[in-house]
Amino acid sequence: MPPDSVISSLPDQSEPMPPACVLVFNSNDPCGASGLAADVVAIACAGAHALPIMTGTFARDTAQIFDHFTLDDEAVAEQARAVLEDVEVQAIKLGFAGTPDNLGVIAGLAGDYADVPLIACMPDLSWWNNDAIEAYHDAFSQLVLPQTAVLVGSHSTLWRWLLPHWRNNRPPGARDIAMAAGALGARCTLVTGINLAERGIENALATPQSVLVSIRFGHLDGPFTGSGDTLSASFCALLANGNELVDAFVEALNYLDGSLKDGFRPGMGHTLPQRLFWAKSPRDPDDAAPDASLSTPTAQHPPPHDKPH
């Protein structure tokens, strides 16, 4: 049972509040590591309801991606419009759209709902061919980033995309990446996996003006698949539930840390996050608190993506 302090803060159960709804654009992942499967579970664990819009499907296992089969832009648009005409959404999450045309559809829909924050993820596309990656990056920069409240991606992925000509002796920091994303329209950037060698892995939430908050975790045995969608989906759901930016960032990272510490290998490939780790019984008390060093946070609300498409 939740502690008394949590129960006392809950609204009157005689008039239960419906969960916040998150519109999610992503591809299907048949091994359940990432994609819509990860989004739906992580969003539910954060107390929100996912409205999944399929943009395509991967052919993959727990070790690698073999191919991707994309739905056309009309199929994506019809799925989204059908649910948007019926359900009020509190946040929009973009995972992998598959094609520039699908990115255009999603950006247009996001522009029509400018008061709903768009959390846009740039996944690792190293499995794809160079021409497809370049076309996807260009469309994302021109169409999606001007609508984006928070851009989410790993340090290495965002560095290669946004700062390809970086010549400084030191790697770009979270604020450097946020400045590059901000020049293209993104208001805030969540950078994961900043490698600090023996000091661990840092994750940071930054604007072009400053780093709002950073959290450092120790290295875990890997490799893992699915951590990006787990983090971004839970973060988006927490924002949809009314949490402030920094609070959602901290809570989502703690959730990801628990999921990774309890990770499992269903096949012969990578370890997957155990997103329902909190439902295990009994729980080991030693697993309850992640080893995180937290800087002083600055609480902010997600900015609406009020720029026109």
pLDDT in tens, 98-129: 999 999 999 999 999 999 999 999 999 999 99
Q: Cβ of 138: how many Cβ atoms within 10 Å? A: 12
Q: Average model confidence (pLDDT) for the chain?
A: 89
Residue type, 250: V
Residue 10 lies in a domain: no
The DSSP secondary-structure symbol of 297 reads P
| Residue 12, pLDDT score | 55
The answer to whether 7 touches 244, Cβ cutoff 8 Å, is no
| Residue 212, pLDDT score | 97
Q: What is the mean pLDDT of residues 37-49?
A: 97
Q: Give the CA distances from residue 39 to residues 36, 156, 213, 238, in Å, rounded to whole numbers and listed in that order.
A: 5, 22, 24, 13
**CA-CA distance, 309 to 302, in Å (whole number)?**
19
| Residue 7, pLDDT score | 42
Residue 3: pLDDT band (50, 70, 90) is very low
Residue 304 lies in a domain: no
pLDDT exceeds cutoff 60 at 303:
no
Lowest mean pLDDT, pick from 33-42, 259-268, 274-283: 274-283
Domain of residue 254 covers 17-294
The answer to whether 291 touches 284, Cβ cutoff 8 Å, is no
| Residue 180, pLDDT score | 98
The answer to whether 264 touches 276, Cβ cutoff 8 Å, is no
CATH number for the domain spanning 246: value is 3.40.1190.20
pLDDT exceeds cutoff 60 at 8:
no
Secondary structure of residue 203 in the 3-state scheme: strand
**CA-CA distance, 94 to 301, in Å (whole number)?**
19
**CA-CA distance, 157 to 140, in Å (whole number)?**
14
Which tops the pLDDT comparison, 174 or 222? Answer: 174
Residue 8 lies in a domain: no
**For residue 129, what are the contacts with CB-CB under 8 A and spacing of at least 6?**
none
Residue 1 lies in a domain: no
Residue 157 lies in a domain: yes
**CA-CA distance, 186 to 184, in Å (whole number)?**
6
Total-model pTM: 0.86
Residue 4 lies in a domain: no
| Residue 280, pLDDT score | 77
pLDDT exceeds cutoff 70 at 309:
no
Q: Cβ of 274: how many Cβ atoms within 10 Å? A: 17
Give me the number of domains the chain comprises: 1
